[in-house]
């Protein structure tokens, strides 16, 4: 009964039990498959073997010395004995633990790691019990803040090098290094340097002792105080699997959970440290209704009030990108079957056919595909800032030999492993079109994409959907034409789920286009008749209608168009001119003066449901605590509203909702693509003396989900700036660090200037929402625009001249 | 064994002009390189294999076999790296070899390069060898000027560059993979094997790493032949070895002897016996990291096999002699401190074992030893030996184990007296009149 495995298999014996594993497997991994746990500290499945801690000794029959099972690969017929069956091995492990404990402080009772510490666990389970060491222990100053987020306690460190290997091999942000030697070897960072990596928190989690501790969790809880739940990160579309820890009802920690298909064992610092927003003092957990002012009311009262105003009215729904699949599905159905509108949108741009294609094709490209691709073209995506874990997987692909080419106006943090072609925003399709004809800097990589078949990927970032969305569509067409696999990478935690559920003016659930009769009929078979006619309005269309008085009720669900929409002025006019504004969110924020009714929603830590990654992978999240106050999960609010309007969404429980959703969202073979011709977006013209200003959100900004994550902002946040190419800077007469006025049709702002060669000439970048600038105030509907730059004379320039002359 | 001994590596040591290129060439220098240029690389490797030349750096690995491991079809360059990080306590034979005849090293290096198709060779010299690095720099410049290095060496169409790299003073960088890291500008810590340097060494390319003395044997093997080479030494350890003898002897220094020469010959005939006619107490045959032996091992032959039989190793053939007045605990304590300080810190048994042993030994030597310290030392030796990432910690363990094995009573005496017994001896006995002549 022999099968033909793709990889060569090796059979060996460990503790008398046979196991067959792929060639190249480490002994420690093979033992795991038999359920044999060999103790270890330095070994980590996603890091290269180090063999440093020496805890995982085993005996291999025929070899005179014990070996470390974390560094030796299996061989056919190998006979391995672990501590379970060999006394020498057991003695060696106990002796090694004694060595590790010599200088380790006995401060477990005050150590953050106490109770979940591999060293403590192993010392308790097989350690020597009493120390024979009678001399003075090593002492160091402690703690040493490596950054506002990470503290180092060198006395506890067992020098396993997991943290330094993580920095070298995974994030590539090589801040940590071992320093000095012998007994004084220690983890160190360059003097004056901060551990400014957006992945720094991972080193805390993989530290096998309490040497690296989290500033936000330091002395905050004991493991036995915590109640935990498995969830998925609420921040971006990477979909990192998380464990959320709650102490006395308050979220105190996020840890990355292992999921080899998604985040491996990692997450980014935003996902790790920005968890206080559900407990923000500004959070509102009671329904409110505007009578004399905004006053608390019962859910029934508010829903009845809202339902009355929706009946027969012109209604529009705007949502953010971080609700659950269930919420979006319920909203999609509510709008179409009860309220009777297609004016619903989760996006902030005009979208494109690329996106519609993506909605119908989940998992067209996955993390695994990225890891094993041979050539990857990344267009319009700053992966580290927008989808950090995808950034890590791209880096991993390079270690497997992939070629990565990034087409973007700014050089991204992939700069050390990928080729970059810098171009002005909007110019990407033009460059690609030239490459298709064998011209320009991308001709070579296009040829490679064409020849690599399944191992060729094209990833298009959310920025390409800005404006007309033509750029994304052109890139999609190009990829399809080359035979490469395409993925439109959404940014927010559940943009993709919203797209799939049909929170979209032209799409029904499952990517079914509203205006394709067959597709629509499939939905109607389950929903009953859809009341609406024709495609609805996009977010911009909805805001324009509101501003023009063509809308009676505007729902703002987990979204604040004043900040989020790339046209703050339009958003303001819309709010001023629509009679009824219904806000459904965690808090009101800047919408407080506009809201007529407020429906309190549950936060991610209180929800049961699914989030969908950029790949289109739905992942379950579980509540870590009860909903706060009388807030409700969004889908329940939608169901309640339907009932208040005399309709019925057809589900009262999550199970019923899942049943129905499953039928519409199950992957289908059908393709519903419409025959749309894309025009090649032309390279935008810039008037003489102007720059092409573009913006996208950086990882750590002033977004509402990083509220109260002060340490994170201190570590990774930056005040707003404008980034210019050296040549442009000199033509505008500005220097690095000086201030300049950025002026557009919509507004103007004074910002410090960063001058660099790592941006395309003619382009200027501002972060979307960093302290000092809401970029939406500079924009008129698209995330890029034409701007002028004007130098501002600073007073200290004068004083500097004086100093020189003196 | 050989009838008449003729110096090989040391034959020009009496002639100061051998340090320069002209003097070296006048004595037949670079003839071997010319001869090797007329041979195929396979033939060179084969000749060295047949000669039975074994690495002189300590491990004694057959040199020809090492060269033969280097794959030639990887599409990567190949490298020869000369390990001149001579750091083992008591060892200074490489130092004098280069001081007196630097070109022989360059010639041997060039032949090794031919054998493996290398175009760039590196000499890694320990940081403290400043004078030797100046000597080598000058020799390299002379060899370039004379056309023995650079483009088209010795009139051939083969190119060879030699780069001299000074270390920064770390014993561990003599360990070949740590040396490669250091050479690449990385932290001097050993690498995992496999991949072995022969396959993935310097800059992940096939690399041969040889000791200075090993390479200096090569020119003669090429010109004088395998038979000549095997005339001296033993069947399994052919050739001569430069022995460094130091400590309590009348004439310490470097002496060339055929491999297999009994220690007694080196001690009594060459080094003039124990200093002041005192009794031999203990000696290390190959640097402080090799297990120490005693007076009863005085007739053991100095070659790889005989010393292994006696429970020690040839190592770098750096013999350190202790006499009856020397305290073994004190000596062991100093040696252990060396290995603790020089531990790179990477792995636990070496880092923590050395740390612990240093403290316990210090206490014992200074009279603060306790009854349970000796069992602790015994356990330490056992738990460090062969448990570490590289062989450095085996040095720590060897000192502990061999000193305990042969001189356990001396340890016990320290603990019992609460003082070093040898220092106690120098104190006047109670009641004796101070300064009285016997």
Q: Could you read off the pLDDT of A327-353 as tens digits, one per residue?
A: 999 999 999 999 999 999 999 887 778
The dihedral over CA atoms of A67, A73, A75, A77, expressed in degrees to the nearest 10, equals 50
Share of chain A above pLDDT 70, in %: 95
Between chains, do B172 and A57 touch, taking CB under 8 Å as contact? no
Q: Is the dihedral of CA A516, A521, A522, A526 positive or negative?
A: positive
* Whole-number Å distance between alpha carbons of A731 and A736: 13
pLDDT of residue A2 exceeding 90? no
B388 touches chain A (CB under 8 A): yes
Would an 8 Å CB–CB cutoff place B360 in contact with chain A?
Answer: yes
- Write out pLDDT tens, residues A419-450: 999 999 988 988 998 999 999 999 999 999 99
The residue among B169, B343, B347, B394 with the most chain A CBs within 10 A of its CB, best to mutate, is: B347
Q: List pLDDT tens digits, range A531-544.
A: 888 789 999 999 99
Q: Are A768 and A782 in contact (CB under 8 A)?
A: no
Residues of B in contact with A181 (CB under 8 A): 170, 172, 342-345
Is pLDDT above 60 for A199? yes
What residues form DSSP beta bridges with A787? Answer: A691
Structure tokens at A163: 């943290």
Residues near B88 by Cβ (< 8 Å), separated by ≥ 6?
B58, B171, B174, B286, B287, B288, B289, B315, B316, B318
Q: What are the structure tokens assigned to B139, written together?
A: 């020799």
- Which residue bears the tokens 């519903």? A672
Q: Is residue A52 less than 8 Å (CB to CB) from chain B? A: yes
Tokens encoding A466: 């800005």
- Scanning every residue of chain B, which has its alpha carbon at the shortest distance from the alpha carbon of A50? B192
Token pair of A62 as six digits: 């025929």
CA distance B247 to B319: 8
Q: What are phi and psi of B318, to 5 degrees?
A: -105, 105
Q: Is B349 on the interface with A (CB under 8 A)?
A: yes
Model pLDDT, residue A465: 83
Residues 6+ apart with CB under 8 A from A309: A552, A553, A580
Between A473 and B201, where is the model more confident? B201
Confidence (pLDDT) at B431: 53
Length of chain A (residues): 806
- DSSP H/E element including A451: helix A443-451
Specify the higher pLDDT residue, A681 or B136. B136
Helix (H, G, I), strand (E, B) or coil at B56: coil
Q: What Å distances lie between residue A469 and A17, A349, B378, CA to CA?
A: 59, 8, 75
Tell whether the model's pLDDT for residue A804 goes beyond 60: no
* A55, A102, A181 ranked by CB distance to B356: nearest: A102
C-alpha to C-alpha distance for A348 and A560, rounded to whole angstroms = 11
pLDDT of A803 > 50? The answer is no
What pLDDT, on a 0 to 100 scale, did the predictor assign at position A78? Answer: 98
Which of B340, B387, B388 lies nearest to residue A182, judging by beta carbons?
Answer: B340
Residues B386, A57: C-beta atoms closer than 8 Å: no
Question: Tokens in use for B239?
Answer: 């050739």
Give me the pLDDT at residue A671, please: 63
Which residues in B lie closer than 8 A to residue A53 (C-beta atoms)?
Answer: 347-348
Contact A71 B345 (CB under 8 A): no
Q: Is A377 on the interface with B (CB under 8 A)?
A: no
Please give the structure tokens belonging to residue A632.
Answer: 């409700």
The DSSP call for residue A141 is -
| E strand or H helix that includes residue A755 | strand A748-756
**Which pLDDT value is given to residue B436?**
41
Task: Give the ranges where A613-756 is alpha helix by DSSP (H).
Answer: 634-644, 654-665, 710-716, 726-732
Helix/strand number for chain A, H first, E second: 25, 35
Cα-Cα-Cα-Cα torsion A88, A93, A95, A96, nearest 10 degrees, comes to 140
A-contacting residues in B 393-412 (Cβ below 8 Å) = none
Q: Does A99 touch chain B (CB under 8 A)?
A: yes
B345 touches chain A (CB under 8 A): yes
pLDDT at residue A737 above 50? yes
Of A54, A71, A103, the CB nearest to B349: A54
The residues facing B120 across adjacent strands are B79, B161
Partner A contacted by B392 (CB < 8 A): no
A57 in contact with B at a CB cutoff of 8 Å? yes
CA distance A478 to chain B (A): 36
Which stretch of DSSP H or E encloses residue A315? strand A315-319
List the one residue out of A621, A617, A619, A582 whose CA is nearest residue A602. A621
For residue A498, pLDDT beyond 80: yes
pLDDT in tens, A625-649: 999 999 999 999 999 999 999 999 9
Measured between beta carbons, the chain B residues lying within 8 angstroms of A185 are: 344-346, 351
pLDDT higher than threshold 90 for residue A5: no
CB-nearest partner of B345 from A51, A133, A185: A185
B204 touches chain A (CB under 8 A): no
pLDDT under 70: residue ranges of chain B: 1-3, 424-438
Complex confidence, ipTM: 0.93
Nearest to A502 by CA among A470, A532, A469: A532
Residues 6+ apart with CB under 8 A from A62: A79
Whether residue B87 lies within 8 A of chain A, CB to CB, comes out as: no
Angle at Cα B379 formed by Cα B378 and Cα B383, nearest 5°? 125
* Nearest chain B alpha carbon to A138: B355
For A179, the closest chain B residue by CA position comes to B187
Which tokens hold the place of A128?
Answer: 């020597």
- Say if residues A500 and A509 touch (Cβ distance below 8 Å): yes
Lowest mean pLDDT among A201-215, A667-681, A699-713: A667-681
Establish if B344 touches chain A: CB-CB under 8 angstroms. Answer: yes
Q: What beta strand segments (E) does A571-656 contain?
A: 580-585, 597-600, 609-612, 618-621
Of B323, B302, B382, B383, nearest to B349 by C-alpha is B383
pLDDT (mean) for A133-159: 96
**Geometric angle at alpha carbon A414, from A411 and A419, rounded to 5°:** 70
Report the DSSP beta bridge partners of residue A214: A150
DSSP A184: G
Strands A176-179 and A186-189: antiparallel
Q: Do A103 and B340 touch (CB under 8 A)?
A: no
Cβ separation B383–A92 shorter than 8 A: yes
Q: How far is CA A606 from CA A329, A586, A612, in A?
A: 19, 12, 17
Q: Are B206 and B198 in contact (CB under 8 A)?
A: yes
Facing B345 at nearest CB: one of A55, A134, A181 = A181
Q: What is the pLDDT of residue A667?
A: 63
Residue of B169, B345, B395 to mutate when probing chain A, most A C-beta within 10 A: B345
B349·A51 Cβ contact <8 A: no
Q: Is a pLDDT exceeding 70 seen at residue A794? A: no
Q: Which residues of chain A lie closer than 8 angstroms to B348, CB-CB?
A: 52-55, 96, 99-100, 158-159
Interface mutation target, options A41, A48, A51, chain B, most CBs of B under 10 Å: A51
Tokens of B98: 């280069």
In this predicted structure, the answer to whether residue A484 has a pLDDT above a threshold of 50 is: yes
**Among residues 101-160 of chain A, which lie with CB inside 8 Å of chain B?**
102-103, 132-135, 158-159
Interchain pair A103, B347: CB under 8 A: no
Question: Which pairs with CB-CB distance under 8 Å and at least 24 residues apart come from B71-74?
Answer: B71/B198, B71/B199, B71/B206, B72/B41, B72/B116, B72/B117, B72/B206, B74/B205, B74/B206
**CA distances in angstroms from B398 to A117, A384, A745, B244, listed in the order given:** 35, 51, 80, 20
Q: Supply the DSSP string of A164-183, one letter for each residue.
A: HHIIIIII----EEEES-GG
Asked if A69 has any chain B CB less than 8 Å from its own CB, the reply is no
Q: Does A786 score more than 80 pLDDT?
A: yes
What is the pLDDT confidence band of residue A235, given thresholds at 50, 70 and 90? very high
CB contact under 8 A, B187 and A57: no
Q: What is the pLDDT of residue A23?
A: 96
Is the separation of the CB atoms in A605 and A624 below 8 Å?
yes
* C-alpha closest to that of A214 among A249, A243, A266, A252: A252
b/e sequence A408-419, b meaning 16+ C-beta within 10 Å: bbbbbbbeebbe
Kindly report, residue by residue over B240-267, the tens digit of the pLDDT: 999 999 999 999 999 999 999 999 999 9
Q: How far is A794 from chain B (nearest CA, A)?
A: 44
Residue B160: strand pairing partners: B150
Q: What local confidence, expressed as pLDDT, does residue A679 receive?
A: 60
């Amino acid at each position: 009964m022999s099968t033909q495995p793709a990889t060569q298999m090796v059979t060996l014996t460990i503790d008398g039990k046979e196991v067959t594993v792929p060639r190249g497997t480490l002994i420690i991994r093979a033992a795991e498959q038999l359920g044999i746990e060999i103790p270890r500290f330095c070994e980590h499945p996603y890091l290269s073997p180090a063999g440093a801690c020496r805890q995982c000794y085993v005996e291999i029959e025929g070899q005179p010395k014990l070996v470390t099972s974390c560094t030796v690969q299996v061989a056919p017929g190998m006979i391995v004995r672990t501590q379970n069956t060999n006394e020498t091995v057991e003695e060696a492990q106990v002796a090694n633990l004694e060595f590790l404990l010599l200088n380790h402080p006995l401060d477990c009772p005050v150590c953050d790691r106490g109770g979940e510490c591999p060293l403590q666990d192993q010392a308790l389970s097989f350690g020597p019990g009493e120390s024979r060491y009678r001399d003075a222990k090593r002492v160091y100053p402690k703690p040493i803040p490596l950054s506002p987020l990470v503290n180092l306690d060198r006395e506890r460190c067992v020098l396993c090098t997991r943290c330094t290997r993580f920095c070298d091999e995974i994030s590539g942000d090589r801040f940590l290094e071992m320093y000095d030697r012998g007994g004084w070897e220690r983890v160190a960072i360059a003097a004056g340097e901060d551990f400014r990596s957006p992945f720094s928190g991972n080193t805390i989690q993989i530290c096998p002792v309490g040497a690296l501790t989290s500033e936000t969790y330091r002395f905050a809880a004991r493991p036995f105080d915590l109640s935990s739940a498995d969830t998925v990160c609420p921040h971006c579309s990477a979909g990192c699997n998380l464990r959320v820890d709650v102490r006395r009802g308050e979220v105190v920690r996020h840890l990355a959970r292992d999921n080899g298909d998604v985040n491996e064992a990692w997450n980014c610092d935003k996902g790790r440290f920005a968890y206080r927003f559900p407990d923000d003092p500004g959070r509102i957990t009671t329904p409110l209704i505007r009578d004399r002012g905004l006053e608390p009311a019962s859910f029934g009262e508010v829903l009845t009030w809202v339902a009355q105003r929706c009946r027969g009215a012109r209604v529009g729904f705007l949502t953010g990108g971080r609700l659950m699949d269930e919420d979006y599905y319920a909203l999609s159905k509510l709008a179409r079957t009860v309220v009777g509108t297609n004016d619903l949108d989760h996006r902030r741009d005009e979208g494109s056919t690329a996106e519609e294609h993506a909605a119908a094709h989940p998992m067209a490209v996955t993390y695994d595909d990225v890891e094993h691709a041979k050539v990857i073209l990344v267009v319009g995506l700053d992966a580290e800032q927008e989808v950090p874990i995808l950034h890590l997987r791209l880096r991993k692909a390079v270690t497997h030999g992939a070629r990565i080419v990034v087409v973007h106006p700014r050089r991204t943090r992939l700069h050390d492993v990928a080729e970059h072609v810098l171009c002005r925003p909007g110019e990407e399709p033009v460059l690609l079109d030239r490459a298709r004809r064998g011209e320009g800097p991308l001709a070579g990589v296009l040829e490679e994409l064409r020849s690599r078949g399944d191992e060729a990927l094209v990833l298009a970032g959310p920025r390409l959907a800005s404006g007309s969305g033509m750029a994304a569509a052109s890139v999609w067409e190009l990829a399809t034409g080359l035979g490469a696999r395409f993925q439109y990478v959404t940014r927010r935690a559940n943009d993709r789920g919203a797209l799939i559920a049909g929170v979209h003016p032209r799409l029904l659930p499952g990517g079914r286009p509203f205006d394709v009769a067959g597709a629509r009929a499939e939905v109607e078979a389950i929903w009953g008749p859809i009341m609406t006619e024709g495609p609805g309005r996009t977010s911009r269309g909805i805001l324009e209608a509101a501003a023009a008085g063509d809308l009676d009720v505007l729902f703002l669900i987990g979204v604040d168009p004043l900040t989020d929409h790339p046209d703050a002025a339009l958003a303001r006019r819309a709010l001023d001119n629509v009679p009824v504004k219904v806000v459904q969110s965690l808090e009101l924020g800047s919408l407080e003066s506009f809201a007529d009714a407020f429906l309190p929603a549950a936060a991610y830590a209180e929800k049961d449901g699914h989030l969908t990654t950029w790949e289109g992978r739905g992942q379950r999240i579980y509540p870590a605590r009860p909903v706060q106050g009388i807030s409700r999960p969004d889908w329940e609010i939608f169901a309640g509203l339907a009932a208040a309007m005399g309709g019925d969404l057809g589900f009262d429980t999550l199970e019923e909702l899942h049943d129905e959703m499953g039928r519409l969202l199950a992957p289908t073979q059908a393709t519903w693509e419409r025959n749309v011709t894309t025009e090649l977006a032309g390279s935008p013209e810039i008037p003489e003396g102007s720059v092409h200003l573009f913006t996208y959100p950086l990882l750590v900004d002033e977004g509402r989900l990083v509220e109260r994550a002060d340490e994170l902002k201190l570590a990774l946040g930056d005040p707003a700036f404008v980034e210019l190419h050296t040549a442009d800077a000199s033509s505008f007469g500005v220097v690095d660090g000086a201030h300049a006025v950025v002026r557009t049709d919509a507004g103007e702002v004074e910002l410090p200037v960063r001058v660099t060669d790592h941006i395309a000439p003619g382009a200027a970048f501002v972060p979307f929402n960093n302290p000092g600038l809401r970029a939406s105030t500079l924009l008129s509907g698209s995330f890029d625009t034409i701007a002028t730059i004007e130098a501002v004379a600073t007073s200290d320039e004068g004083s500097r001249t004086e100093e020189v002359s003196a | 064994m050989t009838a008449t001994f003729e110096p090989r590596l040391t034959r020009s040591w009496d002639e100061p002009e051998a340090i320069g290129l002209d003097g070296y060439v006048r004595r037949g220098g670079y003839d071997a390189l010319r001869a090797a240029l007329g041979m195929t690389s396979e033939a060179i490797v084969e000749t060295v294999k047949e000669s039975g030349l074994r690495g002189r750096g300590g491990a004694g690995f057959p040199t020809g076999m090492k060269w033969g491991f280097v794959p030639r079809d990887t599409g990567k360059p190949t490298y020869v790296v000369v390990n001149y990080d001579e750091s083992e306590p008591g060892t200074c034979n490489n130092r004098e070899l280069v001081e007196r005849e630097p070109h022989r090293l360059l010639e041997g290096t060039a032949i090794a390069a031919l054998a493996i198709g290398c175009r760039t060779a590196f000499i890694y010299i320990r940081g403290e060898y400043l004078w030797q690095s100046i000597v080598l720099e000058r020799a390299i410049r002379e060899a370039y000027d004379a056309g023995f290095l650079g483009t088209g060496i010795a009139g051939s169409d083969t190119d060879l560059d030699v780069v001299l790299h000074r270390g920064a003073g770390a014993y561990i960088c003599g360990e070949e993979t740590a040396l490669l890291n250091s050479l690449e500008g990385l932290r001097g810590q050993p690498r995992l094997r496999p991949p072995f340097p022969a396959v993935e060494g310097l800059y992940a390319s096939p690399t041969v790493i040889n000791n200075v003395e090993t390479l200096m044997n090569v020119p003669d093997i090429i010109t004088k032949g395998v038979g000549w080479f095997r005339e001296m030494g033993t069947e399994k350890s052919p050739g001569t070895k430069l022995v460094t003898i130091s400590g309590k002897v009348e004439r310490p220094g470097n002496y060339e002897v055929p491999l297999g020469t009994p220690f007694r010959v080196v001690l009594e005939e060459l080094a003039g016996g124990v200093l002041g006619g005192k009794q031999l107490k203990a000696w290390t045959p190959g640097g402080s990291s090799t297990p120490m032996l005693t007076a009863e091992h005085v007739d053991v032959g100095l070659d790889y096999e005989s010393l292994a039989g006696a429970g020690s190793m040839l190592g770098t053939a750096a013999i350190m002699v202790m006499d009856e007045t020397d305290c073994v605990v004190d000596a062991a304590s100093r040696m252990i401190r060396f290995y603790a300080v020089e531990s790179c810190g990477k792995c636990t048994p070496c880092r923590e074992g050395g740390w612990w042993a240093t403290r316990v030994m210090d206490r014992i030597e200074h009279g603060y030893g306790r009854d349970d310290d000796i069992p602790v030392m015994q356990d330490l030796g056992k738990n460090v030996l062969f448990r570490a990432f590289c062989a450095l910690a085996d040095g720590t363990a060897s000192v502990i184990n061999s000193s305990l094995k042969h001189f356990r009573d001396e340890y016990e005496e320290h603990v019992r007296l609460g003082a070093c017994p040898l220092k106690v001896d120098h104190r006047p006995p109670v009641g004796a009149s101070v300064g009285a002549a016997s």
